[in-house]
Chain A
Amino acid sequence: MKNVLVYCEVDDKKVAGISKELLSAGKKLANKLNVKLEAVVVGDDLNDVEKQISQYGVDTIFKAQDKRLNVYTTLPFAKLTTQIIKEQDPQIVLFGATDIGRDLAPRVASALGCGLTADTTILDIGNHFVKKENKEYKDLLYAIRPAFGGSIMANIINWDRHPQMATVREGVMKNEIFDKDYKSEIINVDTNTLSDEDFVVEVLERHIEESEVDLKSAPIIVAGGYGVGSKENFDMLYELAEVLGGEVGGSRAAVDAGFIEHERQIGQTGVTVRPKLYIAAGISGAVQHTAGMQNSALIISINTDKNAPINEIADYVIVGDLNVVIPKMIASYKKNTK
């Protein structure tokens, strides 16, 4: 039987969080299909990463190690990944919907001439009957993703041009170690297929900020929408977040309007969060936004429009002006926690 393969991103000898999530999800798919789980890892120093990968129940690790692969650039990474997939012929391949995954996966899919579903949030296995062929295809990958601004969930399948590939959003799959002592077979991949022409893009500088903004692990998020009105008005949200011990986020509309920076965007095209408290100020609740926060434990909506769509999923709806409500919340919190 053909296996399930996960592309693992490695940064500074550490397997990326998204890759751990993918391995966990991949293991479940492999178990459902009763096949093996395989991982691909590409880089210059990978000796410490094997153990990090094995424990997710990975049967085989394909390791492409080469000094020239110290930093990600498209061509060599795509060439090796394509080469491994061609040789191993897996039925399912998963990539993270990250900067790297979204650069790499389409290039690989094009080279293989197969389909690729972007930004999947649910993975499952199921059948599909194709009327034209009068044939039932069994055990296909259901790659389910929000589409069209998040107003719908689309189940995307591919029955005839395998492998079935998908990129998966960060933070939606659980990171679950399968067996700490699991043993993987390690297969070293030949990197001599790479030529100088594959290394024409040179990375001159790289500044990665150890993300000061960590929305995903913030227990409390104060998020503002277009209704906040200005960049200056966001100061109030920052103050509330600081008092409560949380982070500040924004809707796409607020980001597009320049009220708040891109890295704080919550929603289908931003970060997916599930804090214990989500305060939505001046956010109408387009599905594009709610797709990224609807699993919050408790939601407060502050909106002048009592019919704002977000109010439907809110636990508390305060109908009023956020410029009035937020200072009152700050004052009341301070008073009651003295």
Chain B
Amino acid sequence: MKPLKIIVLAKQVPDTRNLGSDAMKPDGTVNRAKIPTIFNPDDLKALELALNIKDRVKGTSVTVLTMGPPKAADIMRDSLYRGADKAIMISDRRFGGADTLATSYTIAQAIKKIGDYDLIIGGRQAIDGDTAQVGPQTAEKINANQVTYVIEIMDINNDGFVAKRQLSHGIEVVKAPFPCLLTVHGNAPECRMPIAKNVMKYKYARSKTEAKKEQDWIKELLEQRPYLTIEEWNVEDINAEAERIGLPGSPTKVKSIENVVFTATESKVLTDSDDDVEEMIKDLLAKHTIG
């Protein structure tokens, strides 16, 4: 069949599963400097789905697209190591503070600049927001069809594909034509590991911002080998309207933030001795909590 052009949407996220006490600033915003960042888990699975299609359909190209700060170049390199062909960053301070509407507009503008695609594949949701909105919103903006919660591409041919979707209480199998935007569910297969050959090839891949700080020999290398350049697009590059990006483009605003405070319960602290366990079970039986 004809080779496909796939765009993978990826995000670098703070690892919300390992948060320290200094994770939030007093004003309630996230103190990103204090939190380790990772490749958003669902997006890695989206990358795997794309690479799996690349294995099956000869000549398919996989371009990874992210919006984020300069540091997000880390996940761009990671994607190249794992088998992506190209990496593009949308990076500009003016994109900061975007909610999902402004984010999807920005990503949609970048997709329009890329132009040609058969599939756009992103993770279902990012662990820093868990909204699962950017996929469907982006699909709407580029006027593409959408298939959410995908765990497997069961069949793929020139007309389209058959996908298995993970629902909360079951499975659905759908058939859809190209072009289409897919979001990938966390139950999809894990992403393959970086391949040594690719690590060698892309070790010195750098974004424009990164390249500026590098030694001369790396700068020269980047000029000699254009594939090492991680593209970096700003507001003008993607032809974005100022009032639709970042904070101004975001209708939802945070009015207030409250730390979740537990109503501390008077706990009964017990050991794992036979007597303690028995005492608790008897208590629960007496209260009719169990039994």
Are A and B co-members of a single complex?
yes
- A-to-B contact residues, CB < 8 Å: 73-75, 78, 98-99, 102-107, 109-111, 113-119, 128, 142, 146-161, 200-211, 220, 244-245, 252-253, 256, 262-263, 268-269, 276-277, 286-288, 290-291, 294, 297-301, 306, 311-321, 324-325, 328-329, 332-333, 335-337
**Known A-B contacts A118-B131, A317-B269; A206 and B147 likewise in contact (beta carbons under 8 Å):** no
* Cβ contacts under 8 Å, A317 to chain B: 267-270
* Cβ contacts under 8 Å, A99 to chain B: 148-149, 167-168
- B-to-A contact residues, CB < 8 Å: 16-17, 19, 23-24, 28, 30, 41, 99-101, 104, 127-141, 145-149, 162, 166-177, 186-187, 250-260, 262-272, 274, 276-278, 280-285, 287, 289-291
Q: Give the complex CA separation of A241 and B149 in angstroms.
A: 31
**Known A-B contacts A107-B146, A110-B137; A299 and B265 likewise in contact (beta carbons under 8 Å):** yes
Closest CB in chain A relative to B256 CB, distance in Å: 5
Quick check: B277 and A115 within 8 Å, CB to CB?
no
| Minimum CB distance partner of A269 in chain B | B130
**Known A-B contacts A115-B99, A208-B167, A312-B265; A318 and B280 likewise in contact (beta carbons under 8 Å):** yes
Quick check: A300 and B280 within 8 Å, CB to CB?
yes
| Minimum CB distance partner of B256 in chain A | A155
Closest CB in chain A relative to B288 CB, distance in Å: 9
Quick check: B254 and A312 within 8 Å, CB to CB?
no
Q: Give the complex CA separation of A276 and B174 in angstroms.
A: 40
Quick check: A106 and B174 within 8 Å, CB to CB?
no
* Cβ contacts under 8 Å, A159 to chain B: 253
Q: A74-B148, A149-B127 are in contact. List 7 more A-B contacts (CB 8 A).
A: A99-B148, A99-B168, A142-B255, A151-B260, A206-B172, A263-B168, A333-B290
Quick check: B17 and A103 within 8 Å, CB to CB?
no
Closest CB in chain B relative to A284 CB, distance in Å: 11
* Cβ contacts under 8 Å, B171 to chain A: 205-207
Quick check: A316 and B137 within 8 Å, CB to CB?
no
Q: Give the complex CA separation of A240 and B287 in angstroms.
A: 19
Quick check: B100 and A155 within 8 Å, CB to CB?
no
**Known A-B contacts A117-B252, A152-B257, A315-B268; A337 and B285 likewise in contact (beta carbons under 8 Å):** yes
9 A-B pairs with the lowest CB-CB distances in the bound complex, closest first: A320-B272, A115-B251, A149-B16, A118-B131, A115-B252, A208-B170, A110-B140, A106-B133, A161-B251
* Cβ contacts under 8 Å, B285 to chain A: 333, 336-337
Pick the residue among B104, B133, B268 that contacts A316 (CB under 8 A): B268
Quick check: B251 and A263 within 8 Å, CB to CB?
no
* Cβ contacts under 8 Å, A328 to chain B: 272, 274, 277-278
Q: Give the complex CA separation of A306 and B145 in angstroms.
A: 51
Closest CB in chain B relative to A255 CB, distance in Å: 9
Quick check: B173 and A203 within 8 Å, CB to CB?
yes
* Cβ contacts under 8 Å, A320 to chain B: 271-272
Closest CB in chain B relative to A82 CB, distance in Å: 9
Quick check: B272 and A313 within 8 Å, CB to CB?
no
Residue pairs across A and B with Cβ atoms less than 8 A apart, 30 shown, are A73-B174, A74-B146, A78-B140, A99-B168, A106-B100, A109-B101, A114-B101, A149-B17, A149-B128, A151-B23, A153-B257, A157-B253, A203-B172, A220-B290, A269-B130, A288-B16, A297-B289, A300-B280, A301-B267, A311-B269, A312-B262, A313-B263, A313-B264, A318-B280, A324-B272, A329-B280, A332-B278, A333-B281, A333-B290, A337-B291
Quick check: B255 and A110 within 8 Å, CB to CB?
no
Quick check: A114 and B251 within 8 Å, CB to CB?
yes
* Cβ contacts under 8 Å, B134 to chain A: 106
Quick check: A106 and B170 within 8 Å, CB to CB?
no
Quick check: B136 and A106 within 8 Å, CB to CB?
yes
